[in-house]
Amino acid sequence: MSSQLAIFLLWLLCATMFHRGACGTNFHLVCNEKDRSALQIFKLGVVNHSNKLPSWSSQQDCCSWKGVHCDNITGRVTRLDLKQQYLEGEINLSLLQIQFLSYLDLSLNGFTSLSAPFDAHASFSNVQFLDLSFNDDLHVDNLHWLNQLSSLKYLNLSEINLQNESNWLQSMQMHPSLLELRLASCHLTNISPSIKFVNFSSLLSLDLSGNHFDSELPYWLFNLTTISNIDLSFNFLKGSLPKSLLSLGNLKSLRLHDNEINGSIPEWLGQHEHLQYLGLSENMFVGSIPSSIGNLSSLVDLSISSSSLSGNLPTSLGQLFNLKSLFIGGESLSGVLHENHFSNLSNLEALVLNAPFSFDLTSDWIPPFQLEGISLSNAKLGPKFPEWLYTQHSLVYLEVPNSSISSINGDQFWRFVANITQLNLSKNNISADLTNITLNSQLIFMDHNNFTGGLPHISANIIYLDLSHNSFYGPIAPLFCHKLGSQNNLDYLDISFNLLTGGVPDCWEYWRGLSFLFMESNMLTGELPPSIATFIDLIALDLHNNSLSGHFSLDLSNITNLEFINIKQNNFSGTVPTKMPRAMEVMLLGSNQFEGNIPTQLCNLSSLIQLDLFHNNLSGPIPPCISDIPSMGGAQRTSHYPFEFNLYNKGQELQYEDYGLLRTLDLSSNNLSGEIPSQVFSLVQLQSLNLSRNHFTGKISREIGSMKNLESLDLSSNELYGEIPGSISSISFLSFLNMSYNDFTGQIPVGTQLQSLNASSFAGNPRLCGAPLPINCTQGSGNVEVSKQYAGSNDDAFETESLYLGTGVGFAVGFWGLWASLFLNRTWRRVYIRFLNYGAHKLHVFVDSKLKALVAHH
């Protein structure tokens, strides 16, 4: 009997302790009811548009729900991993009440709020890993709820808005067990530089990059004796590097790039013998790079740059045998690089030298490394393409822009670069006929050279191709009017500023995936073919400064992504084109032969921020519905890719690289007539308004004073009369004004901007008086009376109120508009192109990051 009881008890113990299959049974422990309840409360706040949590139903065991992990023995929930599941809504921290939860990852989603409904005095000691990062629209006002996580070892809140949490450092001190703390890009402003000690006794990694710390490096940082990784990059840190850094004897990674740190790079930095990653680029260092950096034998990644650094590169860097990535930059650096600068760099994979170094290398020199990426921008490599580069058989990126190269060994060179992913030869003076060459790299920058012949052939691999500012001639049809063997990937094409002739071919159906097409400043002729309207993803189309003609009757309304069109300086005729998508932001149609009235359909383009109809044959009035364009009149902000174009503004032709900040309306040099409708002056976001050289009559409405962002106003050469409204003097940012050759009368309104202008701004108005004109106003003229009457009218209150309301508008719009443009689109292709567009600096940043990622991958 006792033996039977023992067997029964043993069976019962096994059934209680083990999961399915133990002790020869099929017993299965289900999810704990308290755990299930907490998970369900969390799900109630989740907006799950894509139905990514279909398994979270009451019919299934919660241990089988997506992202939920339970203990194999107890059945209790221990982990919840829902990263990158496209979830939105609220994070309900009832999750932290799950008794044995130790790991919670909700990163890379779209949550917008957070609630902590539990008892503020409770303690949830099992949570060791918490990651809520990259929920970009999540604002958290305070971090008091973190105080209950007494066992926390890993915390990542990067890309969450914590701007209202000024005491974040004190909150973090409540977690002495923290090993890793990441608060990157959290809008933090206070790093408490004067505090000398913080309770981070176990901390190994600290990432506070991408915040707004405007101070010197904090004292408390140098007391983190256990720390091995520090990232304070992309802040506004200033001051010099303190010798207290030597107290961090375990430091392996120090990233301080993209700050405002000044002074010299100290010699004692070479005593950090354990350093593997040292990032000091994009700061304000002066002097030379110390030779002691060559003592950091553990270095794997080194980046140093500053516009004020001088001198040559120390040869001691050639002894860093563990180095995989080297980035040195600075336009004031100089000197000659010899073979001993690279003698022991056998592990080097990425070399970026963005400085005017010269090279003195023997013709048969074979480097000790095999690079995967190289960028030698602004170096003095030429005139011939360096022979030693041909020894690099593993290259993925090859960049030698602005490097004084003028000649290449044609056959050898094109075979060498055939399998390179990214090729940058821009801003050299290379002469070569490319008529029979086939380009194959995915990203190709060959602009600003002297390449000649017909356009080269291209393979289906190419994503980005810039052949602008060369001497290519002949028709463009051979490049496009053939179907490639497989679907092409071309997203960006720039063949502008060449000598290309002939018509625009009618074969764009093979290239429907193009997003950017630039063919301006050539000698193209004829009408545009219908296939231009078949693009699917087109964002920008630039055909200006050619000899294109005919009616512009294309229906572009179905190209829903189209934001920018520039067809200025051609011979297009007919009426102003109106079949545009609602997303259109920039329409530059000036210097053509369009006629008729300004179509009211333009008022339906709700995103329009720039309209240029300069120098056409338009007639009739300005349609009053122009005030219906919200991007010009309301507070709506717009951001877009950095389009480049020329505008006649402030009395001259100016070149712009615009990110969506600029608001302009140019209707000048037409035959427009009638009064200027008051609705024009309700476009309060405009920075430039040009109505000159038309036949406008009547008086100017005093509502012009509400255009607080206006910087340039040209009403010259019309038939306007009456007094200039006094409210115009309250436009604080007005720096260019031309009212000449009208029939204005009375005294020029008194205001700082107006009296500082040149008298020519008011020429041709014989009945005007007052500064800056040399004609004084007299009692007899009636001008003084007008001035007094204005001073005592409601206009004065209007001006004063408007002046106060307008203060700082320009700064706010400029600042937030620029940063908004940095987060325009999240898909890889669009981000890729944005980094590549417009400018060597942006390109360098992209290449540097890609090369470092390449090294990190290895």
Q: Which two tokens stand for residue 718?
A: 């019309």
Q: What is the mean pLDDT of residues 310-333?
A: 96
Q: Which two tokens stand for residue 681?
A: 């002056």
| H or E element at residue 117 | none
Q: What is the mean pLDDT of residues 169-174?
A: 88
Q: Give pLDDT, residue 374.
A: 97
Q: Give pLDDT, residue 134.
A: 96
pLDDT greater than 80 at residue 717: yes
Quote the CA–CA distance of 699 and 722 in Å, as a whole number: 6
Phi, psi (deg, nearest 5) at residue 390? -65, -15
pLDDT greater than 80 at residue 137: yes
- pLDDT tens, residue by residue, 625-643: 988 887 776 655 566 666 6
Q: Give pLDDT, residue 26.
A: 42
Quote the CA–CA distance of 21 and 467 in Å, as a whole number: 68
Quote the CA–CA distance of 60 and 286 in Å, as a whole number: 65
Q: Give pLDDT, residue 231.
A: 97
Q: What is the mean pLDDT of residues 725-744?
A: 91
Q: Give pLDDT, residue 60.
A: 79
Looking at the DSSP bridge assignments, the partners of residue 612 are 588, 666
- Cis before 772 (ω within 30): yes
pLDDT greater than 90 at residue 469: yes
Q: Give pLDDT, residue 479.
A: 85
Q: Give pLDDT, residue 510.
A: 78
pLDDT greater than 90 at residue 270: yes
Q: Tell me how crowded residue 121 is: count the other CB atoms within 10 A of its CB.
A: 7
**pLDDT band at residue 122 under the 50/70/90 scheme:** low
pLDDT greater than 50 at residue 816: no
Q: Give pLDDT, residue 532.
A: 86
Give the DSSP letter of residue 340.
G
**pLDDT band at residue 839 under the 50/70/90 scheme:** very low
Q: Give pLDDT, residue 121.
A: 53
Overall pTM > 0.85: no
pLDDT greater than 50 at residue 804: no
pLDDT greater than 60 at residue 6: no
pLDDT greater than 70 at residue 527: yes
Quote the CA–CA distance of 301 and 349 in Å, as a whole number: 10
- pLDDT tens, residue by residue, 438-459: 999 999 999 999 999 999 999 8
**pLDDT band at residue 798 under the 50/70/90 scheme:** very low
Query: CA triplet 407, 411, 413: central angle to 5 degrees?
Result: 55
Q: Tell me how crowded residue 366 is: count the other CB atoms within 10 A of its CB.
A: 10
- Lowest mean pLDDT across 141-145, 258-262, 548-552: 141-145
pLDDT greater than 50 at residue 114: yes
Looking at the DSSP bridge assignments, the partners of residue 593 are 573
End-to-end, the C-alpha distance of the chain in Å comes to: 67
Q: Give the residue among 544, 568, 545, 567 at the shortest CA–CA distance from 554.
A: 567
- pLDDT tens, residue by residue, 24-33: 434 456 788 8
* Residues 350/851, Cβ–Cβ less than 8 Å: yes
**pLDDT band at residue 806 under the 50/70/90 scheme:** very low
The three-class DSSP label of residue 337 is strand
Q: Which two tokens stand for residue 581?
A: 């998508």
**pLDDT band at residue 645 under the 50/70/90 scheme:** low
**pLDDT band at residue 652 under the 50/70/90 scheme:** low
Give the whole-number percent of the chain exceeding pLDDT 90.
62
Quote the CA–CA distance of 428 and 322 in Å, as a whole number: 33
Cα 140 to Cα 136, 175, 325, 497, 783: the distances in Å are: 11, 19, 37, 50, 59
Instruction: Name the average pLDDT for the chain.
Output: 84
- Lowest mean pLDDT across 154-158, 301-305, 758-762: 758-762
| H or E element at residue 282 | strand 277-286
Q: Give pLDDT, residue 59.
A: 73
Q: Give the residue among 584, 571, 530 at the shortest CA–CA distance from 553.
A: 530
Q: What is the mean pLDDT of residues 408-435?
A: 94
The three-class DSSP label of residue 499 is strand
Q: Tell me how crowded residue 81 is: count the other CB atoms within 10 A of its CB.
A: 17
Q: Give pLDDT, residue 488.
A: 80
pLDDT greater than 50 at residue 828: no
- pLDDT tens, residue by residue, 179-203: 999 999 999 999 998 898 888 889 9
Q: Give the residue among 129, 128, 174 at the shortest CA–CA distance from 151.
A: 128
- pLDDT tens, residue by residue, 229-254: 999 999 999 999 999 999 999 999 99
Query: CA triplet 144, 146, 152: central angle to 5 degrees?
Result: 160
Q: Give pLDDT, residue 553.
A: 86
- Pairwise pLDDT comparison (223 vs 820), residue with the higher score: 223
**pLDDT band at residue 513 under the 50/70/90 scheme:** confident
- pLDDT tens, residue by residue, 390-411: 999 999 999 999 999 999 988 8
pLDDT greater than 80 at residue 515: yes
